[in-house]
């Protein structure tokens, strides 16, 4: 008889091992020192193990926690303030982003991460200018964090359409130093629960020299480069003007595309370009909801997968998505591609669940540690309540409908339990390490200030949502 930290007795476990969803039935998952130690038939487990905490989850589906590989939770406090508009960055987001200070950011990351935890995300890949407030809340909340500080040398001023960006190399170097400082302070915190990556914002925002330098710093530390790639026609235009090549082709020529890279969006990539990135060994993050709302586009994740690459899901940001909920991204990833290809068989439910778990883990280079339930891996998992209407009824034969309903019917509130590194971070509707009421009050307390500071610029820009307000449409 061995004493362990936790035993999870379950009817339905989706391990995500193998080529599909790795379903096993009536098994107990044994957790010890933050890792999965064993799987034993439920009926026998008590003969071999005794635990501090035993969970009986017979009305639940147990699966790896979701990986939300690309987020900007630092602007979650602007949820719902920018969408339904062209030029989202300028007409939508800008007045509110400019109105935000550091205390707004602190409140913002809390909202985004709490929302993510409650909808089953156990790993969040944040990308911010000034990522430390997010590191702090990731540490406190218990979620796993893949943190990226933004590096860019863009000189901030208004650029006319077609005008080449100016670089300020000192500014760029300072942002790289900040990235290194965040790395030194936060990487491997709490037994490796927090990792720090390097974050060139995009090939158009840095000089070639700085772009290469960032990558060297990442490689030296054996960490990853997390970068937006060919994320719109503006980036393509900039790189064409500067180097006479399209971004993917140019980066390929520099030897920039390899397995150090996590490439986000690929919005303006052709299928051939997406395949080129995939074949380099780089991972991809696709953010269906965000790019659907912001650009009305479906990014080439299917071409990337067809070329052998791994694709993770990302919720991106709340002012233009408008949520941090991987259930939303799963459904949209499947449906958008069915529509893009006019084919209901494209991106089936099991494939998209793999993107949210094991394939997502591989895309961000953590496939050996998380993303599936396997002995030796970190114990990051969730339990989904099958008694919720959206998951009812449950069939196991001739066909199991649990995975289709996770992807197409579940909304997020079915998540009943969330565990990271073997520690419960969410249970019975409550985030364990967080005073949710206090956080929510803090968030509410920031609204008035942002409203006041944003008003002038919002009115001056006079974008789509300004017009909607004037016309009584909102």
Q: Which of residues 79-118 bind a second copy (CB under 8 A)?
A: 79-81, 83-86, 88, 95, 111, 114-115, 118
Q: Does 303 bind a second copy (CB under 8 A)?
A: no
Alpha-helical regions (H) of 308-357? 326-341, 349-356
**Longest distance between any two alpha carbons in the chain, whole Å:** 72
From the list 318, 382, 416, 419, which residue makes contact with a second copy (rule: CB under 8 A)? 318
Residue ranges in 362-401 that form contacts with a second copy under rule CB under 8 A: 387, 389-390, 392-401
Whether the Cβ atoms of residue 431 and residue 425 lie closer than 8 Å to each other: yes
Whether the Cβ atoms of residue 246 and residue 277 lie closer than 8 Å to each other: no
Rounded least distance, CB 452 to a second copy, Å: 9
- Residue 188's region, left for phi above 0, alpha for psi from -120 to 50, else beta, is left
Residue ranges in 1-20 that form contacts with a second copy under rule CB under 8 A: 18-20
Rounded least distance, CB 460 to a second copy, Å: 11
Please identify, using beta-carbon distances, which residue of 91 and 205 lies nearer to a second copy: 91
How many angstroms separate the CA atoms of 402 and 413, rounded? 16
Q: Does 454 bind a second copy (CB under 8 A)?
A: yes
Return the closest-CA partner of residue 160 out of 98, 238, 82. Answer: 238
From the list 339, 375, 435, 438, which residue makes contact with a second copy (rule: CB under 8 A)? 339
How many angstroms separate the CA atoms of 215 and 200, rounded? 9
Residue ranges in 341-360 that form contacts with a second copy under rule CB under 8 A: 341-346, 348-350
- Residue 422's region, left for phi above 0, alpha for psi from -120 to 50, else beta, is left
Q: Does 33 bind a second copy (CB under 8 A)?
A: no
Backbone angles phi, psi at 239, to 5 degrees: -70, -35
Residue ranges in 224-283 that form contacts with a second copy under rule CB under 8 A: none
Rounded least distance, CB 77 to a second copy, Å: 6
Please identify, using beta-carbon distances, which residue of 109 and 114 lies nearer to a second copy: 114
Please identify, using beta-carbon distances, which residue of 247 and 412 lies nearer to a second copy: 412
Please identify, using beta-carbon distances, which residue of 334 and 366 lies nearer to a second copy: 334
Please identify, using beta-carbon distances, which residue of 53 and 140 lies nearer to a second copy: 140
How many angstroms separate the CA atoms of 201 and 228, rounded? 6
- Which two structure tokens, joined as six digits, stand for 364? 């961000």
DSSP-derived secondary structure for 197-238: EEEE-BTTSS-HHHHHHHHHHHHHTT--EEEEES-SHHHHHH
Question: Pairing relation of β-strands 311-313 and 415-420?
Answer: unpaired
For residue 138, what are the CA distances in angstroms to 190, 314, 472? 11, 17, 39
Give the H or E element holding residue 294: helix 288-295
Rounded least distance, CB 86 to a second copy, Å: 6
Q: Quote the Cα angle for 346-348-351, to 5°.
A: 110
Please identify, using beta-carbon distances, which residue of 164 and 339 lies nearer to a second copy: 339
Exposed/middle/buried for residue 72 (C-beta within 10 Å: 0-12, 13-18, 19+): buried
Exposure on the CB side of residue 254, measured as CA atoms within 13 A = 21
How many angstroms separate the CA atoms of 428 and 8, rounded? 16
How many angstroms separate the CA atoms of 192 and 205, rounded? 30
Please identify, using beta-carbon distances, which residue of 16 and 138 lies nearer to a second copy: 16
Region near a second copy per CB under 8 A, out of 147-155, 233-241, 266-274, 334-342? 334-342
Rounded least distance, CB 75 to a second copy, Å: 12
How many angstroms separate the CA atoms of 317 and 264, rounded? 13
Rounded least distance, CB 361 to a second copy, Å: 18
Exposure on the CB side of residue 431, measured as CA atoms within 13 A = 26
From the list 130, 281, 404, 449, which residue makes contact with a second copy (rule: CB under 8 A)? 404
Q: Does 207 bind a second copy (CB under 8 A)?
A: no
Please identify, using beta-carbon distances, which residue of 14 and 183 lies nearer to a second copy: 14
Whether the Cβ atoms of residue 284 and residue 276 lie closer than 8 Å to each other: no
Residue ranges in 410-449 that form contacts with a second copy under rule CB under 8 A: 411-413, 440, 443-444, 446-447
Region near a second copy per CB under 8 A, out of 128-136, 176-184, 285-293, 418-426? 285-293
Rounded least distance, CB 307 to a second copy, Å: 21
Please identify, using beta-carbon distances, which residue of 7 and 403 lies nearer to a second copy: 403
Please identify, using beta-carbon distances, which residue of 21 and 355 lies nearer to a second copy: 21
Q: Quote the Cα angle for 70-73-76, to 5°.
A: 130
- How many chain residues interact with a second copy (CB under 8 A)? 93
Rounded least distance, CB 284 to a second copy, Å: 19
Please identify, using beta-carbon distances, which residue of 22 and 199 lies nearer to a second copy: 22
Q: Does 293 bind a second copy (CB under 8 A)?
A: yes
From the list 289, 309, 314, 365, which residue makes contact with a second copy (rule: CB under 8 A)? 289
From the list 161, 162, 296, 376, which residue makes contact with a second copy (rule: CB under 8 A)? 296
Please identify, using beta-carbon distances, which residue of 376 and 398 lies nearer to a second copy: 398
Q: Cβ–Cβ contacts within 10 Å for residue 457, how many?
A: 14
């Amino acid at each position: 008889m061995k004493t362990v930290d936790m035993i999870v007795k379950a009817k339905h476990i989706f391990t995500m091992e193998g080529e599909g969803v790795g379903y096993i039935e009536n098994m107990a998952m044994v957790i010890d020192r933050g890792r999965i130690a064993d799987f034993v038939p439920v009926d026998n487990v008590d003969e071999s193990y005794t635990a501090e905490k035993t969970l009986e989850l017979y009305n639940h589906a147990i699966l790896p926690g979701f990986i939300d590989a690309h987020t900007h939770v630092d602007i979650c406090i602007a949820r719902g303030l920018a969408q339904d508009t062209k030029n989202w960055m300028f007409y939508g987001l800008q007045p509110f982003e400019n109105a935000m200070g550091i205390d707004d950011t602190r409140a913002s990351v809390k909202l985004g991460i709490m929302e993510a935890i409650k909808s089953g995300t156990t790993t969040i890949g944040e990308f911010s200018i000034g990522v430390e407030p997010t590191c702090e809340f990731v540490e406190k909340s218990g979620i796993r964090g893949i943190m990226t500080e933004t590096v860019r040398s863009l000189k901030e001023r208004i650029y006319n359409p077609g005008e080449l960006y100016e670089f300020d190399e000192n500014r760029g170097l300072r942002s790289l130093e900040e990235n290194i400082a965040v790395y030194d302070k936060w990487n491997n915190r709490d037994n490796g629960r927090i990792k720090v990556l390097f974050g060139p914002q995009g090939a158009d925002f840095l000089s070639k020299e700085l772009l290469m330098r960032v990558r060297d710093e990442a490689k030296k530390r054996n960490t990853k480069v997390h970068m937006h790639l060919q994320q719109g026609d503006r980036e393509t235009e900039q790189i064409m003007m500067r180097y006479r090549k399209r971004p993917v082709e140019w980066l390929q020529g520099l030897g920039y595309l390899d397995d150090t890279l996590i490439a986000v969006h690929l919005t303006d990539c052709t299928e051939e370009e997406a395949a080129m990135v995939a074949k380099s060994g780089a991972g991809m993050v696709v953010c269906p909801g965000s790019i659907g709302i912001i650009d009305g586009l479906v990014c080439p994740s299917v071409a990337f997968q067809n070329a052998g690459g791994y694709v993770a899901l990302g919720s991106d940001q709340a002012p233009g998505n408008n949520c941090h909920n991987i259930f939303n991204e799963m459904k949209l990833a499947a449906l958008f591609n069915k529509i893009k290809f006019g084919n209901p068989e494209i991106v089936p439910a099991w494939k998209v669940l793999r993107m949210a778990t094991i394939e997502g883990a591989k895309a961000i280079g953590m496939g050996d540690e998380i993303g599936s339930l396997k002995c030796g891996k970190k114990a990051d998992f969730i339990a989904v309540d099958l008694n919720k209407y959206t998951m009812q009824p449950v069939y196991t034969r001739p066909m199991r409908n649990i995975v289709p309903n996770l992807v197409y019917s579940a909304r997020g509130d079915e998540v009943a339990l969330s565990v990271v590194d073997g520690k419960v971070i969410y249970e019975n509707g409550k985030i364990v390490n967080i005073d949710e009421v206090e956080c929510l009050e803090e968030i509410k307390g920031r609204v008035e200030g942002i409203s006041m500071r944003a008003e002038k610029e919002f009115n001056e820009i006079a974008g789509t949502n300004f017009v909607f307000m004037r016309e009584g449409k909102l």
